[in-house]
Amino acid sequence: MQKHLLLSLFLLLSESASAQMVGTMQELSAERQAVATHIVLEGKALSTAGNSDFRRLRDCCPRLETIDLRRSLCREIPSNALFACHRLKALTLSDSVRLIGPRACYACDGLTELVLPPTLEEVGDEAFAACRRLRLLIVQGTPHLGDLSFAGLDSLREIRLSSPTPPPAEATAFWGLRGKGVKLSVPRGSEKAYRTAPGWSLLFEKKVAAQPAALPNLIPVPTSVLPQEGCLNLKELGGVEANPELANEADHALRILSERTNFCPKRGKARLKLQLDTTLNSRTDEAYRLEVTPSGILITGVSPRAVFWGLMTLSQLLETPDAEARCSTLPALIVEDEPRTALRELMVDPARIFIPLKELKPFVVEMARFKFNALHLHLVDDQAWRMEIKTYPLLTELGSHRVGMDDMPLEISGYYTQEEMRDFVAFAARHHVEVIPEIEMPGHEIAAIHCYPQLTCGARKVPIRLTCGVSNELLCPSEEFVYEFLGNVFRELSEVFPSRYVHLGGDEAGNPPLNCWTHCEKCDSLRRKLGITATDGSENWRLQKHLFDRVIDTLRTRHGKTPMFWYETDFREIPEGCVTFAWRHGLTAAAIRAAQENGRKIMLCPGEHCYLDYPAAPGDMPEVNWGMPVTSLEQTYRLDPAWGFGEDFEKHNLMGVAGTLWSECISSPERLYYMAYPRAMALAEAGWSIPANRSWESFRERVRHQMRQHRLRRF
């Protein structure tokens, strides 16, 4: 005990007031976790599951720079333990560590040196991948090095090893370091063994041999793929041919060819030809045909967007197992393809945790690979307002900064200026991804109410919300300022987002729903004025209808937009010209019936399949949540967009599929990708491919290949 005290005192004086020495993280108060910069853990056993010592180090210590585990008894660093801890500068492992789990230190890009103790037996897949500043790696034992365990280490200069026999390594352990001149310091006499050992040999390779094209591992699976005789030698490909209306697609084509092949601009005689043919299909403007022959490639599409999807298919055909290897030949084939549903979107939530647009650009590029055609931006919520609205500057001045998301004391700031957003929307459009903005009403609006209290009943002042969940403060339907406010917001929004759609939220407005309006005098008189006499609980829903009707009318008549909203059973009516989203567990059939009865369109993103913010396996991130169910890859894959409702529903009501990435627990761009993939690939196929072509067994094979490609790309 005395030793403990002395050591603590020493640390306090020598390092800084935020140096902490404790047995386990539980002994450290939330306040001290929030400011800790150096932590020494001495615990006999560090916990690895649930709200573990490691989860707290990762999520609850935003200033943490060093972790010292030397005095702890810690056999395992669990998977995702310190995932994307960008601020971490040093990690000292204990001599008792046997296992480092998958992605344990993924993208810990502040680490510059790392010592793996002699006791270590296993380094999991991607355990230190993307630690881009790591210069020196010291391996004292012979652990097995997993798939991509040290991939993408741009700064690595030296690996020092004590073992004369090379630690067993997967072929991809050091992917990205080929020919980078990493110095390998090994015991004398063992150089040759390392030069030829699996995984290690890559460090000595100079040139990448061109690999033959992989078997088609296309996601989403196309309507038909017909193999033909012969193949195209890509060295004979000399360029791209397209009319001016396909200039954007021609640019993409050139980029794909130069990234993925060794084609010979000018010298090669064969061409990649892009062309429009509006007679190809009348059901959708996304149908394309891709033909590879020994003398060239032809992509025909109903629209530029369709041609672009053809290019995305071509890009997948050109993938080789080793991302550094260029594709040299392409087997002849004919692909004919079109989507099953019209709108295939992913939703991201920068309101809870801000996502800079520079991080969202590569996200859009990745979505487009799988033929998603819309990105839905959840721009506002109780926790923040993220979109510049010039009429109401306080929204972003006061509403876009806060510290804290549940137990994570993170400083979360940021908003999108209109100018930046225009640039982003144009970027996405070049990838044929439509950006759909969402402004929530009447609930999930605390950030706006905080800035402009007159938006809620009685102009109550409310603080910005720091936790997840449902709030009871709502926009007041009887306050004229609310309509003026929304009118201005949607007017400015329409000037930034050319999308046909605008999402109005509409979900989870209070608990009990809409009760905020029950005791508001102004709402009382509005109810009287509207002749709402019911007292069965439906009176507030009628007020909500009044609010929605007014806003929907403005959006449709003044801005030509199609409003969207999250379906709540109490809505009953889906107004003309609107699209509803089925999202709640167990209520998809009810939402579909409402869409059918009202003759409206519906998007499917049922919680059972499409909530990509839920953990994909037990114990996976987020390890701590509010009881989110596990939504496995298979579960997502098994989404039937028609929900068993048959052809009539599919033809008249089904609009598409959506995957949501609510961000209460998604605290970094790396985590956003981690939650999205591979499940987004499963969703892409559910939304695009016809049932006759879909099979979980086949998808499982293809997704393995696609995930390898995904991991090898940089975001």
- Residues lying near ligand TNX in the complex (CB under 6 A) are found at 444, 507-508, 566, 583, 611, 613, 662, 664
Minimum distance between the CB of residue 510 and ligand TNX, rounded to whole angstroms? 13
257 vs 384, beta carbon nearer ligand TNX = 384
Closest chain position to ligand TNX (CB): 662
Tokens of 37: 């910069």
Helix (H, G, I), strand (E, B) or coil at 200: helix
Tokens of 186: 């090994």
Smallest separation (angstroms) from ligand TNX to the CB of 613: 5
Please, what is the minimum distance in Å from the beta carbon of residue 651 to ligand TNX? 27
Q: C-beta of 611: minimal distance to ligand TNX in Å?
A: 6
Residue 406 or 685 with smaller CB distance to ligand TNX: 406
Strand ranges of the sheet holding 99-100, from the earlier edge strand across to the other edge: 76-77, 99-100, 122-123, 144-145
Q: What Å distances lie between residue 494 and 219, 384, 392, 422, 484, CA to CA? A: 34, 21, 16, 11, 15
Chain Cα centroid distance, residue 111: 25
Asked if 403 and 409 count as a contact pair (C-beta separation under 8 A), the reply is: yes
Token pair 């344990």 in the structure block, residue = 104
Q: Give the pairing of strands 380-381 and 384-385.
A: antiparallel
Smallest distance from ligand TNX to CB 548, Å: 15
d(CA 189, CA 567): 69
Phi and psi torsions of 67, nearest 5°: -130, 125
Q: Residue 106 or 581: which CB sits closer to ligand TNX? A: 581
Residue indicated by tokens 């306050």: 479
Using the minimum distance from each CB to ligand TNX, give the nearer residue, 392 or 611: 611
| CB-nearer residue toward ligand TNX: 363 or 566 | 566
* Least Cβ distance, residue 61 to ligand TNX (angstroms): 24
The nearer residue to ligand TNX, 56 or 503, going by C-beta atoms, is 503
How many helical (H) and strand (E) elements, i.e. helices and strands, does the chain have?
21, 30
Q: Cis (ω within 30 of 0) for the bond into 678?
A: yes
In angstroms, give the least distance from the CB of 586 to ligand TNX: 14
Question: Residues 147, 286, 291, 381: which is the catalytic one?
Answer: 381
Q: Is 508 marked active-site?
A: yes
Hey, which bits of 66-166 come out as E strands?
66-68, 76-77, 90-92, 99-100, 113-116, 122-123, 136-139, 144-145, 158-161
* 619 contact partners, CB below 8 Å, separation of at least 6: 49, 79
Is 609 considered catalytic here?
no
CB of 616 to ligand TNX, least distance (A): 14
Minimum gap (Å) between residue 443 Cβ and ligand TNX: 9
Nearer CB in complex with ligand TNX: 128/566: 566
- Radius of gyration in angstroms for the set of CA atoms belonging to the chain, rounded to a whole number: 28
CB-wise, 341 or 660, nearer to ligand TNX?
660
Structure tokens at 175: 């992917």
Would you call 271 helix, strand, or coil by DSSP?
strand
- Number of Cα atoms under 13 Å in the Cβ half of residue 356: 7
Least distance CB 660 / ligand TNX (angstroms): 6
| Active-site choice (154, 170, 508, 634) | 508
Query: Which of 174, 614 has the CB closer to ligand TNX?
Result: 614
Cis, bond preceding 442 (omega within 30 deg of 0):
yes
Number of neighbours of residue 192 by Cβ within 10 angstroms: 9
Give the H/E segment covering residue 659: strand 654-661
| Cα(19)–Cα(15) distance, integer angstroms | 6
For residue 630, the one-letter residue type is V
Residue 248, token pair as written in the block? 């954007």
Burial of 627 (0-12, 13-18, 19+ CB in 10 A): exposed
- Smallest gap from Cβ 549 to ligand TNX, in A, equals 21
Give the Cα-Cα-Cα angle 710, 713, 714 (nearest 5 degrees).
Answer: 130
DSSP 556: I
CA angle, residues 631, 108, 362, in degrees to nearest 5: 60
- 220/316 Cα distance (integer angstroms): 10
Q: Which is nearer to ligand TNX, 126 or 664 (CB)?
A: 664
Rounded CA separation 310/297 (Å): 11
Per the residue annotation, which of 444, 450, 503, 710 is the catalytic one?
444
**Alpha-carbon dihedral of residues 232, 234, 239, 241, nearest 10 degrees?**
30
Residue 594 Cβ, how far from ligand TNX at the closest point, in Å? 16
Token pair listed for 445: 């609006």
Which residue's structure tokens are 């652990």? 143
Please state, in angstroms and rounded to a whole number, the distance separating the CA atoms of residues 408 and 59. Answer: 6
Residues forming beta bridges with residue 335, ordered by sequence position:
225, 290
C-beta closer to ligand TNX: residue 280 or 657: 657
Query: Is the Cβ–Cβ distance between 581 and 605 less than 8 Å?
Result: yes
Cis peptide before 220 (omega within 30 of 0): yes
Closer residue to ligand TNX, CB minimum distance, 325 or 587: 587
Positions annotated as catalytic residues are 381, 444, 508
